[in-house]
Amino acid sequence: MELSIHPDADALAAAAAARIACLARAALDARGRFALAVSGGSTPWAMLRQLAGHALDWTRIDLFQVDERAAPDGSDERNWTHLRTALIDPLGLPAARLHAMPVGRDDAPVAYQRELRATLGVPPVLDLVQLGLGTDGHTASLVPGDPALDVEDVDVTWTAAPYQGTRRLTLTFPCIARARRVLWLVAGAGKRAMVRRLLAADRDIPAGRVAQDAAELFGDAAAVPRTMD
């Protein structure tokens, strides 16, 4: 896995946004479109605000979600609410390119897989999946002990149980593995132990089950010190 280490959270956000913009331009030049899936959690929002400052042709960029909480529209618990605040509303992104997870529907996994396929083909291939890393080793909403970890026949699933108080909808490992590129975004000293296990591809944590051959990790110095001793 490629590492990109930055002195603080602000520098991390700027660097990750620049990298995503670079990958977007390359995909637009090569294939005429770019499909980005963004994770939840607090770390991506500063990065997305930085991304909004890059000149990109958003009429050719599809914005998907990696995971979402089963909460009402507009709730602060919804990742989509923060996506709107940080990126969608400031840029006035075209509705046809926005793909929110329909967590208000019982058939949400089927509906979102259908949307992925309608937009990206069968099987759907995302250009870039941005992932975070939890202090328990989870990524997306693939959390320790949940049966969602073993789902292999679909691209989207509900978690079997609520996580941190809410049910989650998440992309599955096969969908993430199909992506052309994975970008991990990790900040804070509380993540350091799990970063070590991620880099070791420790399959005892969910994050360690994500393939690393097309992955890069952007972290701040607290989470990813220059030496991991």
Tens digits of residue pLDDT in 178-192: 999 999 999 999 999
Structure tokens at 21: 């913009």
Calculate Rg over the CA atoms of the chain: 16
- Bridge partners of 60, per DSSP, are none
Torsion of CA 223, 169, 23, 115, to 10 degrees: 180
Tens of pLDDT, residue by residue over 15-74, are 999 999 999 999 999 999 999 999 987 889 999 999 999 999 999 999 999 999 999 888
pLDDT bin (cut points 50, 70, 90) of residue 206 is very high
List, in order, residues 6 or more apart from 8 with CB less than 8 Å away.
Answer: 220, 221
Can you give the pLDDT at residue 194?
97
**Is residue 228 very low, low, confident or very high in pLDDT (cuts 50, 70, 90)?**
low
Residue 167 pLDDT exceeds 70:
yes
Q: What is the pLDDT of residues 114-148, one digit of tens each?
A: 999 999 999 999 999 999 999 999 999 999 999 99
Q: Tell me: pLDDT of 214 over 50.
A: yes
What confidence score (pLDDT) does residue 229 get? 46
Average pLDDT, rounded, for the chain:
95
Residue 104 in tokens: 């208000």
Dig out the tokens for 117 from the structure.
């396929």
Distance CA 23, CA 113 (A): 24
Q: How many residues does the chain have?
A: 229
Domains of the chain with bracketed CATH: 2-219 (3.40.50.1360)
